[in-house]
Structure 1
Amino acid sequence: MRHFLRRLIILLLTLWTTVTINFLIPRLMPGNPAEAMLAKFHGKGPMSPQALHSIEVMLGISSEGLLKQYSQYWVNVFHFNFGVSYTYFPYSVRHMIAQTLPWTLVLVGVTTVISFVVGTLLGILSAWRQGKIFSDMAITSLFTFTSSFPYFWFALLCAFFLSYVLNWFPLSGGNAGNMTPSLNFNFLASAAYHSILPALTILVSSIGGWQLGMRNNMLTALSEDYVTLAKARGLSEMRIALTYAARNAILPNMTGFAMSLGFIVGGSVLTELVFGYPGMGNLLYVAVQNEDFPLMQGIFLIIVICVVVANLAADIVNVFIDPRVRRAGE
C-alpha cells in the first residue's frame, strides 16, 4: 500500500510541475502573440491599440495578474480547455487534438502493442534456443539489422518503392479523398489501406528493440539459480521458459512498454510527416513550425499526463508480476 501511495504522490507532483511549467513558459517569453499573429498578415508596421486588444481577446490572452491567470489556467486544464489554436483559428486546441488523436491512437497504438508482443515472444524464443541457427542467430541478426533503420529512412524507402514505383499503396493521407470519418465499412477500409505503409515502417523499425532487449534479459534470467533448480526438478521447458525465466526477464520491458504507450499520443512525427498521415505527430510539427504555443502546450500536457499514468500502470503490473517489488514497498 505504501508503495502505491508513494507512486501516487510522485505522479501528482509530476503533474503539478508539468502544468506549472506549461503555464509559465509562454508567459515568460518576450513578445506578444497578438503582435506576432498580426505581423504575419500585415507586416511589422504600427497597429492601433484597439486592433491589438481585439486580437488579444480573440486569442484569449489575459492582462490580469499572474496568480489569477494561474488559478484560471488550472480550471481550464481540468476542463481540457487549452485555448484557441493560432494556426487553425477559430478552432480550439481541444477540437484539433480531438480530430487527430484517434488517427494516432489507432496507428501508433496498435503497432506498438503488436511490436511489443511479437518482439518479446521472439526474444524469449531466441534466448531459450540460444545458438540455434534459425531460432536464435537468424532472428537476432535480422532484427539487429532492422532496428538500426531510422524511422524516416525506412519510411522514405517504402514510399518510393511501394507507392511511387510499384503503386501498391497510397503515397500520403489517411483515407481516400475527403471522406468523413465514420464507422462505415468504406471509410474503415480506406483508412486501413492508407495506414499499411506507416504501420509497416513502425513495426519493422521497432520490433528489433523489443526482441533484443528481451533476449538479453532472458539470458541473464536463465543463468539464475532458480532456473537451474527448476530444471533439476524436471519441470517442462515451456513452464521454465515462461513461468520462471520470462516472468522475471520481462520486467524491464514492461517499463519500456509503459513509456511507449504514454508517448503514443505524441505520434511518430517523422513517419507521419513522410506519409502525410493526419495524426498528432503531424499536428505537433505544424504547431512548432507556426509557433502555435497553445497547440504545443495542449499536446505537451496530454503527452506528459499519458506518460505518467502509463508509468503508474506499469508499477502496478510489476507488483503483481514480481512479488519482490511488493515486499520492497512494504
Structure 2
Amino acid sequence: MRFYLQKIAFYVVALWAAVTINFFIPRMMPGNPVDIMMNKMSAAGMTIAPGTRHALEIELGGGSGNILQQYGDYIVNLLHGNLGISSSNYPEQVTTMIGQALPWTIALVGLATVISFILGVGLGMLAGWKRGSWLDNLIPVTTMFQSVPYFWLALILVLVLTRVIPLFPYAGGYNVATTTPGFSLDFIGSAIYYGFLPALTIVLSSIGGWMLGMRNMMVSTLSEDYIVTAEAKGLNPRRVRMTYAARNAVLPSLSGFAISLGFVVAGSIVTEQVFSYPGIGQLLFSSVSNNDYTLMQGVFLVISLSVLGANLVVDVLNGIIDPRTRARS
C-alpha cells in the first residue's frame, strides 16, 4: 500500500507542476490574444466600446488583478472544467472543441498504438524464443519502416493506396456527404474505412521497435539461471516461455508503452496533418497557426494529463507484475 500511495503522491505533485507551467508559459509568449481579437473585430468593421478590452480579458482568461490572482482564478476554473474561450473560434468553448476532437485521436492513434504494441511484443517474443527463424530474420525489414521519416511513409502510402491503387480515401475522418456522425453502423464503418490508412502508417512505423526491443530482452532473459533451472526441471516449454521468460522480458517494453500511449495526443500532429484527420493534433496545429493561446493551453493540459495518467497506470502495473519494484520502495 505504501508503494501505491508514494506513486499517487508523486503524480499529484507532477500534475500541479504541469498545471502551473501550463499557466505561465502562454503568458510569457509574445503577442496577446486580446489584441488579436480586437484587431479581428476592427478588420470586420465592428464598433469597439470602451469596456471591450476589459470584457475580452476576463472572457479569454486574462482576468483582473496581479498574476497570483489570475493563477488562483485559473485553478478555480480548471476545477470547474472551464478552460476558457477560443479566440480563433470565438465564442466557442475550449472544452467543447477538445471534446469534439479528442475521440477521433483516441480512436485512431490510441488503437493503432495498442495494436502495434501487442503485435510487436508478441512477434518479438516468438522471434527471441526461436532465434534464427524466418520471423527473427524479418526484424530488419520492420525496423527499416521505423527508420523511414514518418511523413514520407505516410505520403508513400497515400500515393500507392489512394492514387495508384485506389483502395482508401486520402483525407478526412468519415464520408461527410453520405454519413451523419452518431452511433450507427454506417458512421462507424465509414470512420474505420477512412481511418484504416493512417492507422496502417502508425503500425508500420512503430511495430519494428517493439519487436526488436522484446526480441533482445527475450534473448537476454533466456540466459538467466532461473530459466535454465526451469528447463532442467522439465517444465512445459510454453510455460517457461510465457510465465518465466516473457513476463520478465516485457517489463521494459511496458514502460516504453506507457510513454508512447501518453504521447498519443501529442504524436498525432503529423498523422492528422498528412491525412487531414479531424483530431486533437489538427486542433493543436490550428491553435498555433492562429496564436490561440487559450486553445493551445487547453490542448497542452490534455497532453500533460494523458502522459501522467499513462505513466501512473504503468507504474501500478509494474508493481503488480514485478513485486521487486514494491520491495525497493
TM-score, normalised via structure 1 length? 0.93
Separation (CA, whole Å) in 2 of partners of 1:184 and 1:298: 30
**Aligned pair 1:205/2:186, yes or no?**
no
Instruction: Name 1:196's counterpart in structure 2.
Output: 196
Separation (CA, whole Å) in 2 of partners of 1:272 and 1:27: 28
* Offset, 1:31: 4.2
Instruction: Name 1:276's counterpart in structure 2.
Output: 276
Decide whether the 8 Å contact of 1:267 with 1:279 is kept in 2: no
Which amino acid counterpart does residue 93 of structure 1 have in structure 2? Answer: V
Decide whether the 8 Å contact of 1:173 with 1:277 is kept in 2: yes
Separation (CA, whole Å) in 2 of partners of 1:189 and 1:99: 19
Separation (CA, whole Å) in 1 of partners of 2:40 and 2:147: 41
Moved more, 11-20 or 24-33: 24-33
Instruction: Name 1:164's counterpart in structure 2.
Output: 163
Moved more, 155-164 or 26-35: 26-35
Separation (CA, whole Å) in 1 of partners of 2:92 and 2:250: 44
Decide whether the 8 Å contact of 1:19 with 1:301 is kept in 2: yes
**Aligned pair 1:235/2:235, yes or no?**
yes
Which amino acid counterpart does residue 154 of structure 1 have in structure 2? Answer: L
TM-score, normalised via structure 2 length? 0.93
Separation (CA, whole Å) in 2 of partners of 1:208 and 1:257: 13
* Offset, 1:79: 2.2
User: SS in structure 1 opposite 2:263?
Assistant: helix
Which amino acid counterpart does residue 238 of structure 2 have in structure 1? Answer: M
Q: Which consecutive unaligned segments of at least 5 residues does structure 2 have?
A: none
- Pairs within 5 Å for 1:218-297: 218-297=218-297
Separation (CA, whole Å) in 1 of partners of 2:274 and 2:31: 33
Could you say if the C-alpha distance between residues 257 and 24 of structure 1 is closer, same or farther in structure 2, counting changes exceeding 3 Å? same
Instruction: Name 2:19's counterpart in structure 1.
Output: 19
| Aligned-CA RMSD value | 1.8
Decide whether the 8 Å contact of 2:108 with 2:199 is kept in 1: yes
Separation (CA, whole Å) in 1 of partners of 2:182 and 2:159: 30
CA deviation map 1:229-254 (0-9, x unaligned): 11111112211111111111111111
Aligned pair count reads: 324
Instruction: Name 1:136's counterpart in structure 2.
Output: 136
- Pairs within 5 Å for 1:1-330: 1-40=1-40, 42=42, 49-132=50-133, 134-137=134-137, 139-177=138-176, 179-329=179-329
Decide whether the 8 Å contact of 2:59 with 2:84 is kept in 1: no
* Offset, 1:58: 4.3
Sequence identity (%): 49
Separation (CA, whole Å) in 2 of partners of 1:168 and 1:24: 47
Separation (CA, whole Å) in 2 of partners of 1:208 and 1:55: 50
Q: Which consecutive unaligned segments of at least 5 residues does structure 1 have?
A: none
